[in-house]
A and B are shown apart, each in its own frame.
Chain A
Amino acid sequence: MNNWFSRFLTSSLGKKLLMALTGLFLILFLVVHLSGNLQLLKNDGGRSFNIYAEFMSTNILIQTISKLNFTFILLHVLLSLYLTIQNRRARGSERYAVTSGKSSIWASRNMGVLGTLVLIFIVVHLRHFYGEMHFGSVPTVNYDGKEVRDLASVVDYWFSKDWYVALYVFSMGALGFHLWHGFVSAFQTLGLNHPKYNGLIFFVGKTFSVVVPALFAWIPIAMYFNI
């Protein structure tokens, strides 16, 4: 395994490039996922959400992208584990007795912790929603003669539990902090740092990291309190 390609991807810069590319793909995935979730807020008894969910879980193209997405999450997580351990080792056996947090932002120093919180959430959430949809038994409803699984009722069930809503909102907070650093950081990793675009990347990145997690978190809150 000493060809140029494997040397490229296993170098410190190559691994970081993969982190950034998978991270950016996951950001795109968040947008699609959010646009689907927001349909839960429609007052139609979950109809548009169910039709959307049925489409997403049966369409071949979407299912292929979904498998790709799982692969990227796995890659992102494994690389992050590898990098975090390697980076800790680089400090050496003796660590600093005193450190100051003045020269960097908190989120940037805690990407591993924030990522792990997001990962725990992803696992719990996959088990309850993705797992039910693909391997469980979801009751069906009949829309104009077509049998559609009523995923909205499963969501309703979980979003009526206070611990679940709390976990959801907390996890979206962690995701927000992860992205507060991660979004802009990914562009720096790609080498896209230029005075002409830095302002735009910064603005879009910071706005995204607040607005998207906030909208995700709003859905369980709204459903819990019947707003």
Chain B
Amino acid sequence: MKLTLKIWRQKGPHVKGEFKTYVHEHVSPDMSFLEMLDVLNTELIKKGEEPIHFDHDCREGICGMCSLYINGRPHGPLQTTTCQLHMRSFKDGETITIEPWRAKPFPVIKDLVVDRSAFDRIQQSGGYISVNTGGAPDANEIPIPKKIADEAMDAATCIGCGACVAACKNASAMLFVAAKVSQLALLPQGHPERKERVERMVAQMDAEGFGACTNTRACEAECPKGISVAHIARMNREYYTAMLSSYELPSKAGGE
């Protein structure tokens, strides 16, 4: 296959970037999208040019590291991760535009690589549970209905890739935050911090500068793990209940 690639090149975080066009003559339909870029990069290196920087790690669809906004869609035309997208999904002679995720909280580091540590900070603000030290508890000690466990598992499949933010017209992180809130709100282990968690994670999400939700459901349609916006509705419920009923700590709490 022969492809024309319009790729976003940007030297660093505060430098103006631009599209550069590459003609790629050696594309096999069996290559993954990332392998196609690897081959292009090998050619660039041979010519003494700077290779195209892009994020990748496991290349088996479970780490959430690969990104790329391909022809107007995160992870390209299929609902999968870019590493699991193959060149057979494109036509010979096609022009493909490749851009980085675009969101104020995801600044470009270089070329197609963006800084997604805003997600880590949201996770750190509340996406944890308290576990007592001591002997390991029996795994089956707490009964959890199968349906609830499944629902929590669906939320837990979120790999934090950021496709939801990239897909959303508002660059909103609702689906990511909702998946993290939902996963722990559904399970008994998550209950001690339940209200505090959603309050803190939503506050952190807002502080990072992500947009609000318009319920366009583009996130759900583009999520490589198919996470449902039903989790966003759950997060909304969790948040309203928490805000209306959580215990406010007095501003001058004792102990200091």
Interface residues of A (CB under 8 A from B): 4, 7-8, 11-17, 83, 86-100, 102-105, 108-109, 111, 181, 184-185, 188-193
Interface centre among B170, B171, B202 (most CB of A within 10 A): B170
B216 touches A90 (CB 8 A): no
With an 8 A cutoff between CB atoms, is B248 at the interface? yes
B213 touches A189 (CB 8 A): yes
6 cross-chain pairs, A with B, having the tightest CB-CB distances, nearest first: A90-B211, A193-B233, A100-B72, A191-B237, A87-B170, A103-B221
| Contact for A92 among B72, B102, B230, B233, CB less than 8 A | B102
A16 touches B221 (CB 8 A): no
A87 touches B212 (CB 8 A): yes
Closest to B213 in A: A16
Using Cβ atoms and an 8 Å threshold, which residues of chain A touch B202?
Answer: 11-13
A195 to B212, CA, bound (A): 24
Closest to B167 in A: A103
Using Cβ atoms and an 8 Å threshold, which residues of chain B touch A16?
Answer: 212-213
Using Cβ atoms and an 8 Å threshold, which residues of chain A touch B227?
Answer: none
A167 to B1, CA, bound (A): 53
Contact flag A103-B218 (CB < 8 Å), given A8-B243, A191-B236: yes
With an 8 A cutoff between CB atoms, is B51 at the interface? no
Q: What are the interface flags for B171-201 relative to A under an 8 Å C-beta threshold, 1 for contact and 0 otherwise?
A: 1100000000000000000000000000000
Interface residues of B (CB under 8 A from A): 6, 17, 19, 69, 71-73, 97, 99, 102-108, 167, 169-172, 202-203, 205-206, 209-218, 221-222, 229-230, 232-237, 239-240, 243-244, 246, 248
A188 touches B232 (CB 8 A): yes
A100 to B72, CA, bound (A): 5
A100 touches B73 (CB 8 A): yes
Contact flag A86-B237 (CB < 8 Å), given A14-B243, A100-B73, A103-B222: no
A116 to B30, CA, bound (A): 49
B233 touches A90 (CB 8 A): no
Closest to A82 in B: B212
Using Cβ atoms and an 8 Å threshold, which residues of chain B touch A11?
Answer: 202-203, 206, 239, 243
Closest to B220 in A: A103
Using Cβ atoms and an 8 Å threshold, which residues of chain A touch B72?
Answer: 96, 98-100
A87 touches B172 (CB 8 A): yes
Other than A90-B171, A91-B171, A92-B104, give 5 A-B pairs with Cβ distance below 8 A.
Answer: A11-B239, A90-B172, A92-B102, A94-B102, A181-B215
Dominant SS at the B interface? mixed
| Contact for A97 among B99, B170, B248, CB less than 8 A | B99
Closest to A92 in B: B104
A17 to B228, CA, bound (A): 20
Closest to A94 in B: B102
| Contact for A104 among B6, B71, B216, B239, CB less than 8 A | B216
| Contact for B236 among A88, A89, A189, CB less than 8 A | A189
A197 to B217, CA, bound (A): 18
Shortest A15–chain B CB gap in Å is 6
Shortest B185–chain A CB gap in Å is 12
| Contact for B215 among A97, A98, A189, CB less than 8 A | A189
A132 to B105, CA, bound (A): 50
Shortest A153–chain B CB gap in Å is 42
Using Cβ atoms and an 8 Å threshold, which residues of chain A touch B239?
Answer: 11, 13
Contact flag A92-B236 (CB < 8 Å), given A109-B216, A193-B230: no
Using Cβ atoms and an 8 Å threshold, which residues of chain A touch B172?
Answer: 12, 87, 90
Using Cβ atoms and an 8 Å threshold, which residues of chain B touch A92?
Answer: 102-104, 106-107, 171
Using Cβ atoms and an 8 Å threshold, which residues of chain B touch A99?
Answer: 72
Using Cβ atoms and an 8 Å threshold, which residues of chain A touch B108?
Answer: 94
A198 to B161, CA, bound (A): 29
| Contact for A192 among B71, B210, B233, CB less than 8 A | B233
Closest to B212 in A: A12
A102 to B243, CA, bound (A): 36
Using Cβ atoms and an 8 Å threshold, which residues of chain B touch A86?
Answer: 211-212
| Contact for B104 among A14, A89, A98, A189, CB less than 8 A | A89
| Contact for B214 among A89, A97, A108, A192, CB less than 8 A | A108
A181 to B215, CA, bound (A): 9
A7 to B207, CA, bound (A): 12
Closest to B104 in A: A92
